[in-house]
Chain A
Amino acid sequence: MIEEIVRTGEIKVISREGCLTALGVGSCVALVLYDPGRLVAGMAHIFLPFSGNGHKSAMASSFLPAKFADTAVEALHAAILKCGASTGGILAKMAGGANLFDSFQGQALDVGKLNGEAVKKALSEMGIPVTGATLGGNFGRTVRFYLPSMRMKIVCGFSREASI
């Protein structure tokens, strides 16, 4: 089986059989869009929630298609359509969005939470249903998505495991 490693900011697509892997996901979100009918799946390893937010130039200078949640969802959608997915039957699964460093000062940025919210918002705007998600917590995850089973397996170290 082919295992594609999806690194921070990247998008990868597989079809029929294979595995999409994001290693050590912290506050990032590993988002998978898949078409069960055509057996096409793509993963985006999303780093920050917004491309704008006072960093207008940041977007233009980025060569990473999945760096920002608000633009990554659309880019991932386009990428799986290009590889044969049909517009009608696309579903989503995602994992990540952790906040590793509990703050006792109470004012620290929770990038993980913002990432999760930004992805959910973009998905609902595009009308893509989420069939499984595990977000938050204070631990990193390795996320694998398999075709043809369409299962997402999540390992958190410490022998904690989940499957969605």
Chain B
Amino acid sequence: MEAREWQLDVLKEAGTVGIGNAAKALSSMLCDRMVYVSVPSVRFVPLSEAAWIWGDPEAIILAAYVPFTGGLSGSAVFGLPEDAVRTFMRFMSLAAEVECEMYSIFTEMANIVVTSYLNALSSMTGWVLRPSVPRVAETMAGAVIESVLALMEHTNDSATVIDTTFSLEGGHRLLGGRLILVPDKMSLCGFLQAVEATYCR
């Protein structure tokens, strides 16, 4: 089933609420610094173009992969360039030298962002969504996306992707992060029907 126009709008709306929640959580974690977010884009990405979702497939990022289950199942990927994580740690007055500390801080950020996003989706349908523990990698962006789709055993030739960019005032420049949601195709249909039943009567 191809998602119709209104379904894309529902996903966009759900994404906007979700990302608003996530940005608020991130901002309070960073001592109330401004966190800017883009309006989520919902796209059907062909598998062969998936490696370019992030832009440059070779860009090195810290990425957290968070599979989630419940009424809607799928995968969330939260990613930041490494220098952005170091800047965040400086904001939180944490020592950036310790590598494992950087990983655990990043894991915590991913936890907060993904959970608050999913909570917003939950509140739209009343369904419980359960994120699992984030699994972190530091490598090429293209490799991350490709591996996540493979872990989902993505047998379709395209994926529905809800994509939002984060940015934050970081001294002289904005630091770009990204949250990507890839719902399982089957559960996505059910989710959209539940939203329709609640809001479009």
Which residues of A pack against B, CB within 8 Å?
A: 7-10, 23-28, 47-48, 55, 58, 61-64, 67, 98-105, 108-109, 111-112, 115, 138-142, 155-158
Contact = CB atoms under 8 A, between A and B. Distances in A.
A64 B149 CA distance: 15
A24 B155 contact: no
B133 A105 contact: yes
B155 A7 contact: no
Interface residues of B, number: 32
Nearest to A28: B146
B47 A101 contact: no
Contact of A157 (B60, B133, B145, B147): B60
Contacts of B137: 100-102, 138-139
Interface of B: 47-51, 57-58, 60, 63, 65, 133, 135-147, 149-151, 153-157
Contacts of B139: 26, 98, 100, 138-140, 156-157
B155 A64 contact: no
Contact of A24 (B49, B57, B150): B57
Contacts of B156: 58, 61
B50 A8 contact: yes
Nearest to A57: B155
Given A47-B146, A48-B150, A140-B139, A23 B157 contact: no
B58 A142 contact: yes
Given A58-B155, A103-B135, A140-B144, A28 B150 contact: yes
